[in-house]
Amino acid sequence: MRTFLLYQRLLIKMNDLNDISLSEIIKLVKSKKISSLELANHFINNIEKGKKLNSFITTCFDQTIKDSKNFDKKQNFDGLLPGIPIAVKDLFCTKNIKTTAGSKILENFVPTYESTVTNNLWKEGAILLGKLNCDEFAMGSSNETSFFGNVINPLENNLVPGGSSGGSATALAASLTPATIGTDTGGSIRQPASFTGTVGLKPTYGLCSRWGIVAFASSLDQAGPMTKNVEDCALMLEAMSGYDKKDSTSINKKKENYSKNLNSSIKGIKIGIPKEYRVDNMPEEIEQLWKNGIDILKKSGAKIIDISLPHTKYALPTYYIVAPAEASSNLARYDGIKYGYRSKKGNNLIEMYEHTRAEGFGDEVKRRVLIGTYVLSSGYYDAYYLKAQKVRKLIKGDFDNSFKEVDAILTPSTPSSAFKIGEKANDPISMYLNDIFTVPVNLAGLPAISIPAGKDHKGHPLGLQLISKELKEQKILNIAFAMEKEINFKQSLNRWWE
Amino acid sequence: MPIDKNQVKKVAKLSRISLDDSKLESLSNDLISILNFVEQLNKLDTNEIKPLTSIIDKSLDTRDDSVSDGQIRDQILKNSPEKNEDFFIVPKVVD
């Protein structure tokens, strides 16, 4: 018997753990074919060999090993993520483990509390591997604004992984973690997922608690899962979501069993195709990707309906008023007094604040704080902020109208595949245009998922996005599940970074 | 032009971010291009539209006004860059 077990374990190691999904790993743990400690050692080894990718800001391996040994001793397989080591975006506060939000101003911040979402993962049996790099305060679409340096896309060493959850996307695609979580304010989960050939879901606003997440734009921020396939995505969403009385915008409803209810039968389901997402200068291959997606849905028995979301083109300008306005208010707390970096310069309190924030924030964060302060300032509030909130109502109204007619909407996730490091770093507007297909969803508080759907002529992955009305995560997961089977996306990385 | 250099200086002051004169030019240009971009919204007539106030259809929860934690002074002070046993230390405010 003992020899048999050893033989089985050997087989698993030969069968590379890097190529299997979170759900398959969980099966191995539950059937005792692999221990939590063995898993922890595997991912720690991958992380140590993956330093070139710069996807981690902090690791906590001593704790990981201790927790996994503890799990193996107790052998409690009741949770959704039994003994599974997982790394998370460094925007989630983790008790006694440094949380930087990718900023110098929080370089040495060690929270004394745990975010609700990460706590939910630990309650399901998961174990922390470390904290993943991201754009500073989640402000960016390429992970180039991080104080801790840019993250490399595992596809090629000169490509960005997208952002702001770029460290999460890279660590996942490179198998430095079997699954991860990010946050999405304007596309920060879906765009990097699309750029790395992975799955990312932004839940309905209020489904996952925001408590303990470093705030960027509070009416837009949502945490969500990033995984290798749709089944894993359903499982992670199930683990992390749920009502939290500590978040006043948390939705009080019964937890759903997304993974158990996953069903790829989508016959008769109505899918809307919004004509406004056919933007100027959209590359032919994105158009083709979208058409292929439509064909797959038709083949699966879905009904395709042309729809209109007439205010789509106003979503980005609206976002770049609302998000900076909320950011400037949220980031007012970084004053160098209660926590975070403090400048040695300045002759009085006000000057100390000014130098602290000048030295502590990077350029993109400063731009957004200044824009936000300007659009909220006396004399300009009506022209910018109030106007934007009115247009936001129209954008939400477009979606509400569409969902009277269709169950879900299919669009491309991004207007291009991953771009080169430095390519857009000096032009804020061209960087912002990256989020053209993802931002409307945040403005309307809706759930959306990005799944890998094909590759461009360079062989880089491209994603398709499915959007549904509030709290219909199961619906888009099911459609994505059906599409995933048909698309059969494959990505083999030669692990050049090791 | 939606914003000039003097206004940028004023907004930096309001934002409590000290600004090097050497950076003023490029930062002003960035802000001008961002504001020009968002001014597309002026093409839209929104006179009859009520602004969005909440993205989810729920009223805020109420709770009892009671103490739920406390006695965590050390935790609160833990991350302060300058403190003594009981207080945050700040530069002199009153002469």
- At B14-47, the pLDDT tens digits run 999 999 999 999 999 999 999 999 999 999 999 9
- B56 and A112 within 8 Å at the Cβ level: the answer is no
Q: What is d(CA A111, CA A135) in angstroms, rounded to the nearest whole number?
A: 20
**Smallest Cα–Cα separation from A131: which of A177, A174, A162, A163?**
A177
pLDDT higher than 50, residue A14: no
- B38 and A317 within 8 Å at the Cβ level: the answer is yes
pLDDT of residue A478: 98
Q: How confident is the model at residue A8 (pLDDT cuts 50, 70, 90)?
A: low
**What residue in B sits closest to A339 (Cα-Cα)?**
B80
What is the nearest CA distance from B56 to chain A, expressed in angstroms?
7
Which tokens in the block code for residue B84?
């003594």
Q: What is d(CA A142, CA A157) in angstroms, rounded to the nearest whole number?
A: 14
**Smallest Cα–Cα separation from A451: which of A424, A469, A478, A421?**
A478
Give the type of residue at A347: N
- A389 and B60 within 8 Å at the Cβ level: the answer is no
Give the type of residue at A97: I
**Smallest Cα–Cα separation from A99: which of A115, A117, A119?**
A115
Q: What is d(CA A339, CA A482) in angstroms, rounded to the nearest whole number?
A: 48
Compute CA distances B34 → A21, A119, A372, whole Å: 42, 38, 11
Report the topology of domain A2-272+410-487: Amidase signature (AS) enzymes (3.90.1300)
What is the nearest CA distance from B3 to chain A, expressed in angstroms?
9
Q: State pLDDT tens for residues A311-368.
A: 999 999 999 999 999 999 999 999 999 999 999 999 999 999 999 999 999 999 999 9
Q: State pLDDT tens for residues A174-189.
A: 999 999 999 999 999 9
Longest dimension (CA), chain A: 79
Q: How confident is the model at residue A421 (pLDDT cuts 50, 70, 90)?
A: very high
Compute CA distances A421 → A141, A201, A477, A497, whole Å: 11, 25, 32, 17
Residues of A with active-site annotation: 89, 164, 188
pLDDT higher than 80, residue A3: no
pLDDT higher than 80, residue A156: yes
Cis preceding linkage at A164, omega within 30 = yes
pLDDT higher than 90, residue A264: yes
Instruction: Decide: A468 and A449 in contact? Cβ < 8 Å.
Output: no
pLDDT higher than 90, residue A231: yes
Which tokens in the block code for residue A343?
């400048």
- A445 and B15 within 8 Å at the Cβ level: the answer is no
The residues spanned by each domain of chain B are: 5-43
Q: B 3-62 residues with CB below 8 A of A? A: 3, 7-8, 11-20, 27, 30-31, 33-35, 37-42, 44, 46, 49-56, 58, 60-61
pLDDT of residue A10: 54
Task: Please give the distance of CA A251 from its chain centroid, rounded to a whole number.
Answer: 20
Helix, coil or strand: residue A159: strand
Mean pLDDT for chain A overall: 95
DSSP A431-466: HHGGGTTTHHHHHHT--EEEEEEEE-TTS-EEEEEE
Q: State pLDDT tens for residues A78-131.
A: 999 999 999 999 999 999 999 999 999 999 999 999 999 999 999 999 999 999
Which tokens in the block code for residue B73?
């002074």
CB-neighbour burial class of residue B64 (10 A; exposed 0-12, middle 13-18, buried 19+): exposed
Q: What percent of chain A has pLDDT over 90?
A: 93
Q: What is d(CA A332, CA A368) in angstroms, rounded to the nearest whole number?
A: 12
pLDDT of residue B59: 80
Q: A 91-130 residues with CB below 8 A of B? A: 108-110, 112
The residues spanned by each domain of chain A are: 2-272+410-487
Q: Give me the residue label for tokens 């038709």.
A: A298
**Smallest Cα–Cα separation from B14: which of A49, A96, A468, A357?**
A357
What is the nearest CA distance from A271 to chain B, expressed in angstroms?
24
